[in-house]
Amino acid sequence: MDKVLERSVLCSGGCLHLGGSKSETARALVLQALLPSLELENASTSDDSVAMVKGLACKGQEVDIGYAGTAMRFLTAYFACRQGREVLLTGSGRMKERPIDVLVSALRSLGADISYVEREGFPPLYIKGVAVRGGEVRMEGGVSSQYASALLLIAPFLPEGLKLTLEGRVTSRPYLEMTVSLLQEVFGKRIASWKGNCIEVFPQEGELRGKGALRIESDWSSASYWYSFVALNDVGTELCLKYFKGDSYQGDRALVELYELLGVHTVFEGDGIRLRRVSAPRLEVLDLDLNATPDIAQTVAVTCLGLGIGCELWGLHTLKIKETDRLLALQTEMRKMGAKVEVSDDSLCLEAGAKLKSGVRIATYDDHRMAMAFTPLMLKVRLIIENSGVVSKSYPDFWEDVTKNVRLAE
């Protein structure tokens, strides 16, 4: 279903609860499956999280996770160490185009029994669960961080633990830091260490025990769209977001400093944050390396477009293997809006001063972040968001929250 968005204004003073972090929830669900005594609070209800829950609970031989890329990576490692279990792990057509050879090779080196069913290096996978013992693995640091996180999540349950060495520059480092921090919160600080490019999860003696409950923080990636709404609204606009913390595990907390450059100030208060539009952007061109936080790249690019400033965004090579090729998708849809924008394999450059076109149909390419990133432009022009229901992949209540907090412009 398409969503027609008329020219609107963000209501000042609202307060939103965005739901638990999709990234934290995915990791916590794997830990809970391996440690059933662990209880989760404020878990995400996104499509990706539901796919993970169903995949973990599936008793049949075929496990279909649809478009959920995180579930594909994490469940590959999970089922590899479930001794005696055999599964066919598959997904959507797009999922079968997303490489997984780096993770499979690493698991095989630890003793896993995994076969490619169709194309070498890509899902679907036939996995025979065996007694994976653990050991040492070397992995290129510039590939998806989810490969490394998948290994780390099962590592506490491997007799020999895991010594993971990341070679070269590490992509999306905050997501790996999140994984290590969650392991330490659940099992104690001594479970793991990170020195240089080496992450070690130590072998455990006896029965592995962890904490009883884990509260999941709200999702900073979802918060990015509300930062964009505030940035594109009038000076003085305020919005409260619940259940966020200053010492977050989530790398997208970088929004706090980043959007300060775009005129949005963040105050941590109680159990949440308050956003306030305090000024016009403090620069004409935003130059950022988003290697550590690629999930907010679409939001940042579209915010700059709405503000009429330019941007040069770098470190975006992983965007080409997401739900769609996000760099090409951004270029296509931003050009529809009147932007002069160019992309390479790992960057996006937007010229300042674009005059926005009204009534444009924004294609979403089965990508939740494309739909939500462009929505704040409704504060500037009329838009049509195609296949608007795709937002349920990460933020099921997005359109309900927009309806409650945005009113038509007079």
Q: Please identify every residue annotated as catalytic.
A: 295
224-245 burial by CB neighbour count: b if 16+ within 10 A, else e?
bbbbbbbbbbeeebbbbbebbe
Return the closest-CA partner of residue 298 out of 374, 223, 365, 231. Answer: 374
Phi, psi (rounded to 5 degrees) for 273? -130, 150
If one counts every other C-beta atom within 10 angstroms of the C-beta of residue 399, the result is 19
What tokens does 382 get? 């009329």
Return the closest-CA partner of residue 27 out of 197, 227, 181, 257. Answer: 181
